Structure 1
Amino acid sequence: MLMQYRKFSSVLPTKKDEVVYDPDSVQDDILFTDLEDIEDFPNDTQTALQIIRQQNKQRPCVILKTHLYYLVKDKTALERELMEQQYEGIIREYQLPDSSDSYYVFVEDVIEALSIAKEQYLTKIEQNLENPPEDQPIAKSSMHCGTLTGPPAIGYGLRALPFNKSLSEREKELLKEKEKKTVVFDDFAANFVPNYIGLTVSSEAMLKLMYPHTWLDKSYDDIRPLIHARAITVSIGAKNGVQGFQLACPGAEIVLAQIKRGRTEIIRTIKRTRYKEEYLAVLENKKLKNSSFPSSFHLKDLLGGDYVEQFETPTGTVIALPSHR
């Protein structure tokens, strides 16, 4: 028994084999550095955002919340991590125009969309100034202490340049008018988008962020280009005498229309089947007529929004309409 005990004890770790942390040891530094790097790994929400971004090649890259619901099952963690992404200045949330749901756009895509909207607005200015519409009324507006009053002007609110001036004088005035009307895009992209989180904004809060020192001198005309570019949309009415606007991303309406058409086409495809269900593989390989997105992109939206149900069968995964439909 003694020999067996000694044999067993010989494999136990001795004191000299104990691991002791040595601050001067390179190996220990590598070990603890690797542990710190684990904290930098993307969480589930960040991974889901990147997955949708890879599938959506259009810009701006619109990410519906239904997409994220499909990829991230823990909705409480999802909402928390989405808010963290907003505070870090990575994404912005906007409300869908026809529902209470929301969508997300990367801030860099919002900035790019504003740049494109600015170029489009410049083109409209040139067309309006070089070929002014006849008898076009121009509404006037005023603002006092951040309160905007008066309806938006018809068209682009641009006054035609007098044609009795020389070409050089008209070109100078044209350049001055273009700079005056488009600088708001740069101010909105630089000062407002990175620093504001919310679905709606009052005119006072928006102008204070865009023009911290001169916002009292601004009028409705100064922000009207943003309305035409759909960076701020329909007025949501006045509250306590202050007019407010709903925020949006320029160009997102085109992407959202495609998503809606693709969603409708897949649902109609399922409805045409005998039992109102279809194999997932069949739907994924289906080439859509009304959307440039792959079917898998729309299926994530449908499943995350509970428009359809998914279940397993011996012959494969099946997508079916909910029983209440």
Structure 2
Amino acid sequence: MPEQTAASTMSNPTVDNPDPYKFLNLASNPDGTITRLTKFPDSPATCDPNLPTPFFTKDVPINQSNNTWVRIFLPRHLLDHSSATPPAKLPLVVYFHGGGFILLSAASTIMDDFYVNLATQVPVIIASVEYRLAPEHRLPAAYEDAVEALHFIKTAPDNWLRDYADLSNCYLMGSSAGGNIAYHAGLRAAAEADDFHRLKIRGLILHQPFFSGAQRSRSESRLENNPKLPLSSSDLMWELSLPMGVDRDHEYCNPMVGDGLSEKLDQLKAAGFRVLVAGSDGDLLIDRQMEVAKMLKENGVEVVEHFGEGGYHGVIDKDLFAVVKSFTSSS
């Protein structure tokens, strides 16, 4: 999820074994789809110079058949400069939004403050990917959309990316389900490293990545009835997003398992991807996140950990942007 969970904007149900459909404000349909009863507002992209906004934004289509696109956030000063010397290019963050694979959009208003703070405090150019949602499009659809977006971005068909983004200094970042997508897209990009020489991915930034497994972790048991993301709601998100007929020990959910895992980690290491894993101990998923960080380190991947006290799933740690800035600056 983003800086506040989708559920936190809804009514506050009883957290003792809450009904996940009610908690997430969803209705199940006979054809396997869902009706999202909460309509999260979207913000239109704008590059109107008459508006007093610190950023210009625009949406660029990627795959019209799948209705995927990327929203680019460009600091205003890059277009407003009057010097004959063009401004220095900024690092590029390819971002994947949260929402448990089933909610929200790259255009969701709930994301705007996060994008602005990230782009301002780091600073970077952001390309936020609109990917297909489950259960209408179950995993690996989101991963396929993410990798397709990377192939699109590497060609820099858009003038903002071509003129202002440093494609040799790129990071894949996501929060919650977006962190899961960034991880799996990173594994695929590492396996295809020769195809990405025009888009040099330096690292993965996994903010509260959404991982789980069939066996309950201690933090999942301890925070089962957490009011921001109860375990029952987490389980439902996996039920709706994983391929039909698999359980939470599928590699999309549990990164500690899967065919060829050792080879994938070797490819991640060989590609030189550094990994930042950030979370908080009020998040029921923190044990999984720490487990992934440990696994990566044990396989020779350079890992930076940032695990804070308190908080909950979906909150933005006050130090997150400083940690991301340090991480991107040291690559």
Which structure dedicates a bigger proportion of its chain to strand?
A: 2
State whether TM-score is above 0.5. no
TM-score by length of 1: 0.24
TM-score by length of 2: 0.23
Which structure dedicates a bigger proportion of its chain to helix?
A: 1
